Amino acid sequence: MTHVFTIAIDGPAGAGKGTLARRLADHYRLNLLDTGLTYRAVAHALIQHALPLDNVSAAETAARQVDLARLDRAVLSAHAIGEAASKVAVFPTVRRILVEKQRDFAKTPPGAVLDGRDIGTVVCPDADIKLYVTASAEVRARRRLAEIESIGGTANFAEILADIVHRDERDMGRADSPLKPAADAHLLDTSEMAIEAAFLAARAVIDDVLAKRDKA
């Protein structure tokens, strides 16, 4: 059986894991799945139907209907949908449905880079590489503000920071699959690091694992 290669990337909102995941998938020619989009798709479906975010059975139905090939980043990337996604992500049954789809995706040759909150701990505990990408809340808030301003928007730093801290608390504090580094994850703190440096650091970790495997 051909070995399917898996790179699991976890970390809090805004730490740069999405960009890193994309760069690594390109470099190692692997499939790419931003699992946050799957939770966002569920939240989006509820919002579209004007249903409350704590309607678990509607959230389960929406989760079953999530099609990984049709996740529309342009629609799903809105800030409010991220907040709502963090709320529907607390429901274990919703998680189970989405995790199954994410695992199927990971199994497709030649393998994949998946980024999210519970990839190394729950979705792909046997991943070949696990990275935990983090940055201080202040740095993440500053980056988000710069991003908003770069597209002509305005925002308040204190509000963005409060949002980030709040989202961290919800994602790290939930009972089912909370955000935390897997015991065997490589930690990458990007607070003082540009994306290129983070990419190079991740490649060093991955190439090291690949070289050891070739020798074995």
Q: Are 113 and 30 in contact (CB under 8 A)?
A: yes
Query: Which span (115-123, 141-149, 157-165, 189-197) binds ligand DC, by CB under 6 A?
Result: 115-123
Q: Using the rule CB under 6 A, which residue among 28, 39, 91, 132 binds ligand DC?
A: 39
Does residue 190 belong to the site contacting ligand DC (CB under 6 A)?
no
- Both structure tokens of 136: 């201080």
Query: Which span (50-58, 85-93, 182-190, 194-202) binds ligand DC, by CB under 6 A?
Result: 85-93
* Residue 134, phi then psi, degrees to nearest 5: -140, 170
* Residue 126, phi then psi, degrees to nearest 5: -100, 20
Q: Using the rule CB under 6 A, which residue among 16, 36, 111, 120 binds ligand DC?
A: 36
How far, in Å, are 1, 2, 176, 183 from residue 121 at the CA level?
A: 25, 24, 11, 8
Identify which of residues 104 and 207 has a Cβ nearer to ligand DC in the complex: 104
Establish whether 82 is an annotated binding residue: no
Establish whether 146 is an annotated binding residue: no
Helices 36-48 and 56-64 sit at what angle, rounded to 10 degrees?
120
Does residue 118 belong to the site contacting ligand DC (CB under 6 A)?
yes
Residues at the site binding ligand DC, with contacts judged by CB under 6 A: 13, 35-36, 39-40, 82, 85-86, 89, 116-118, 167, 171
